[in-house]
Amino acid sequence: DDAAVGRTLAELNLRVRTGATALAIHREGSDTTTPAPHDPLRAGDILTLTGSDAALAAALALLQRGTIE
């Protein structure tokens, strides 16, 4: 499973740790939503992110593995 499932964007500290910004969450069965910092991420969520190539790579690593390194 992805390391981010069940955690919030605030817990992950995504923007500060990676430089990427989450613009939207696409969830099955619902319209695209603006991500709230304290809503837990769910399995199957698709995040729309913006940032530099390095920031997006770091965000992907953080969301999938729980670490940037």
Per-residue pLDDT of the chain (69 residues), as tens digits, is 589 999 999 999 999 999 999 999 998 878 778 888 998 999 999 999 999 999 999 999 999 999 887
- Rounded to whole angstroms, the Cα distance separating 49 from 55 reads 9
